[in-house]
Amino acid sequence: MKDRYLFLLGGHSFQAEANRQFLEQAGGSHARIALCIMNRPGWEDYVPLFQQMWTEAGMTQNVRVIVPDEDGNLDMGHAEQVLSWATGIFIGGGNTEKYHHYFATGPFKELLIDRYENGVPIAGNSAGALILPETCLISPLDNEQGIMMFKQGVGLFSNVLISVHYTEWDDQSNLLLGMKTGKVRHGIGIDEQACAVFINGQLASSLGESVYTVTYEDFDEDRYTIVKKTS
């Protein structure tokens, strides 16, 4: 069985080494990438930037985009066609609640799981990273209500909570509170210029700046350990 790869980027989509490794797992020069993003002003301007980055890394195919239309509808027929064609899937960043709504629920979620189980590597930046585990933790700093949210994620790995923009947002206390509230012993904080690489559901390496592994030894006594990992 082919190893299953996830690339969780902490806030900056255009990390050279993370994207090089993602593209390599997706087939290198033969890679076919599906880019899943939100419909917001200027979204079209980002597509050539992704295309250029992956082309410079050796890709010869054009990126295909999955994006809701102006009315907020997602064409599932198109999505299924593109995901079936793709050898790599990249989920962008933005409003985490919207990314969760469109890409971590219903038929789209099932398509993602199927592609992942069949060895298609998936990369997610910021919101795109947060929706991939079993539990999607949304920081109070990441929504208009300013509250902590727990949502059912895609479920590509479990028993770990993820925090993005970790150092930049000073999000450690929110990750710890989320872990304590949900009784989840393992957490990972990812800085904006960092990427956590998972292989077969387990953290395998870190790229770029810092990735922090957080382990709760005792919830009642509030005892935990934080280890900083750099590439």
Q: How many domains does the chain have?
A: 1
Residues 6+ apart with CB under 8 A from 188: 8, 160, 161, 162, 163, 196, 203, 211, 212, 213, 214
Give me 179's structure tokens. Answer: 């872990």
As a whole number of angstroms, the distance between CA 205 and CA 159 comes to 18
What pTM value is reported for the model? 0.97
Q: What is the pLDDT along the chain (231 residues), one digit of tens a residue?
A: 789 999 999 999 999 999 999 999 999 999 999 999 999 888 889 899 999 999 999 999 999 999 999 999 999 999 999 999 999 999 999 999 999 999 999 999 999 999 999 999 999 999 999 999 999 999 998 998 999 999 999 999 999 999 999 999 999 999 999 999 999 999 999 999 999 999 999 999 999 999 999 999 999 999 999 999 987
> What range defines the domain where residue 78 resides?
5-230
Residues 6+ apart with CB under 8 A from 46: 37, 92
As a whole number of angstroms, the distance between CA 153 and CA 23 comes to 24
CATH classification at residue 18:
3.40.50.880
Residues 6+ apart with CB under 8 A from 141: 165, 169, 171, 174
